[in-house]
Amino acid sequence: MAAPKALVALSGGVDSAVAAILMQEQGYDLVGVTMRLWPKSRCCDEKDIEDAAEVCARLQIPYQVLDYREAFRQQVVDVFVAEYQAGRTPNPCARCNQFLKFDALLEEGQKLGASILATGHYARLLDTESGTALLRGEDAGKDQSYFLFALGAGLLPQLRFPVGAMHKDEVRALARKHALPVAAKQDSQDICFVPDGDYRRFLADYAGLDLEQEGEMVDSSGQVIGHHAGVLNFTVGQRKGLGGGSGQPRYVLALDPVRNQVRVGSEKELYQPRAYLQECNWLLPLDASREHPVTVKLRYRSRPEPGILFLKEQGRAEIHFAEGQRAITPGQAAVCYAGERLLGGGWICTAEKPA
C-alpha cells in the first residue's frame, strides 16, 4: 500500500523543519514547499529558501518554491495599508493564515495528489464527536492557535501540526539530533514584510502615505485640547508623542481618520467592558440563542480573560468581559476559547456600542 502523500510547508525555520521530520517518521510521502511572499522579508526570504531546500535534501524529499507574491500583496499587504488608513491596527499574520496560506497550499497539494498539509505551527488537533477540534499548543509560550482562529472548520481534518505537542527546547533538540542546519536558527519576529519593524516608514515608502497631516487632538467629550502630527502615527493605548500640557498622563482612546482627530484620555478611560466583533469565524456550531462563557485573547501575547460571548447576525458578535479590558483595539483579533479548545473569533470593530 502506497504511503499517504502530504505537503509540508517550510518557512526555512526550525519548527517547520522538525515538522517535516516527524511527518516522515509517521510514514508520509512528503513534498516540501515554500511560499515566496515578499521581495524583502523576515520570513521565506532567499536565505530561508536555501535553508528549506537543504532540509529537504537531507530528508531526501522533493522541494518546490511557489510564487505567491502578488496574492500576498493584494490580500495581506494592501489590506494592512487600508486598515491603518481606516484608523485600525491590523494583524497581518492572522490575515495571511485566513486568506492565503492554508487554502492556497491545500490547493497546491491537490495538484500533487496530496490531501494533507503539515506546518510548524504550535497548535494541536483532536478528533471529537463534534468534529476535529483545534487546541492550544502544548508550549504556552509558543502557542500560535490565536493566529489560526479564521481557518475554515472544514479544513481541519486535512491539517497536521506535528510540533504542537512539543516544547521549543524539544524541537531544537530533535533538530540537533538530525543535524539540521536550522537547529539554532533564531525565530522570525514582528511583521515579515516590514524588515526593520518601522511600519510608519513602510506606509510612507510602500504606499506613499503622508504621515504628517496635522489635525485636532480632542478629549473624551470632543473638546479640542491640542493638535497632532498625523493619525497614522498613533495606535490605541499609545502614550508617547501626545505632547505635554496635562497634569496626568494621556493615552490614545480612539482614532478618527475621517475627521483627522485623535481622541485622548486618562488610563482609566482605556478600560472597556465590551468588544464588538465583525467577520467572525467559528470552528464548531454555536447556538446563537444563548450566551457562551469563554476566555478571550485580544492580542497574541495577552492573557486570556473571562467573558461572555453573544452571537449576532451577519457574522457579528459581542463579548462582555468580567472586568474592563485595557486598550481594546479595532483591527486586532478577539479569539475565543473554551478551555484548551479554540472556538474561533472575529475582528474587533470597536470597543464602544455601535450606533
Residues with catalytic function? 96, 192
101 CB contacts (<8 Å, ≥6 apart)? 9, 35, 119
Query: C-alpha grid cell for residue 101?
Result: 496560506
d(CA 25, CA 13) in angstroms, rounded, equals 19
Helices (H), the chain: 14-25, 46-59, 69-72, 78-85, 92-96, 102-111, 168-177, 199-207, 267-270
List, in sequence order, every beta strand (DSSP E) within the chain. 5-9, 29-36, 63-67, 116-118, 123-128, 131-136, 159-160, 215-218, 224-228, 251-256, 261-265, 271-282, 292-297, 305-311, 317-326, 333-338, 341-350
Q: Can you tell me whether residue 67 is helix, strand or coil? A: strand
